[in-house]
Amino acid sequence: MLINGCGGGDDKKEEAKGFYIPEGLDSRTELRYRQYAVQGRILYKQHCANCHQEDGTGLGELIPPLAKSDYLEKNLQHVVCIIRNGLQGPVVVNGVEYNQPMPPNQQLKNIEIAEIATYITNAWGNKGEFITVQKAQEWLKSCEQEE
């Protein structure tokens, strides 16, 4: 049995590495979920990895981690707002304070935000949920009200 990339090397396996699949999804939902994850990973590399790094570990004192971030876990619904509107002011992630502005991503569509959110909250050992475009849309409404 091959475990984690001994000689496999195709992108599917790579994708599955460390990516959390919630239990109890029916096969159609699971397929959709995996598609979100694949797209989310591509978008993450384009829009986020420069700062947060491909493995989600962040960058020193400047950029907070997304992998195993307690902040992300506690603010799951708010993640879609952070992706769209960016973030300013001090935040504490895993006991470390960060205070650098994160730029907004107004150009991203709701579906793209949902894909990225699904990816980052379930990659690198994180365990979140399937953030569908419907869910993302609901949650995005709440951030508009906060302004």
Instruction: Point out which residues bind ligand HEC (CB under 6 A).
Output: 47-48, 50-52, 63-66, 69, 71-72, 79, 82-83, 87-89, 91, 93, 98-100, 102-103, 105, 116, 120
Nearer Cβ to ligand HEC (8/15): 15
CB 79 to ligand HEC: min, Å:
5
CB 35 to ligand HEC: min, Å:
18
CB 115 to ligand HEC: min, Å:
10
CB 95 to ligand HEC: min, Å:
12
Nearer Cβ to ligand HEC (8/49): 49
Tell which phi-psi region holds residue 10, choosing left (phi > 0), alpha (psi between -120 and 50) or beta: beta
Which value, to the nearest 10 degrees, does the dihedral of the CA atoms of residues 18, 77, 30, 115 take?
-80
Nearer Cβ to ligand HEC (5/54): 54
Give CA 105 to chain center in angstroms: 14
Q: And the tokens for 131?
A: 């953030």
- Tell me if 71 sits within 8 A of 64, measured CB to CB: yes
Sign of CA dihedral 98, 99, 105, 111: positive
Nearer Cβ to ligand HEC (31/62): 62
The C-alpha atoms of residue 117 and residue 133 are separated, in whole angstroms, by 10
- Letter for the amino acid at 101? P
CB 142 to ligand HEC: min, Å:
16
Nearer Cβ to ligand HEC (50/142): 50
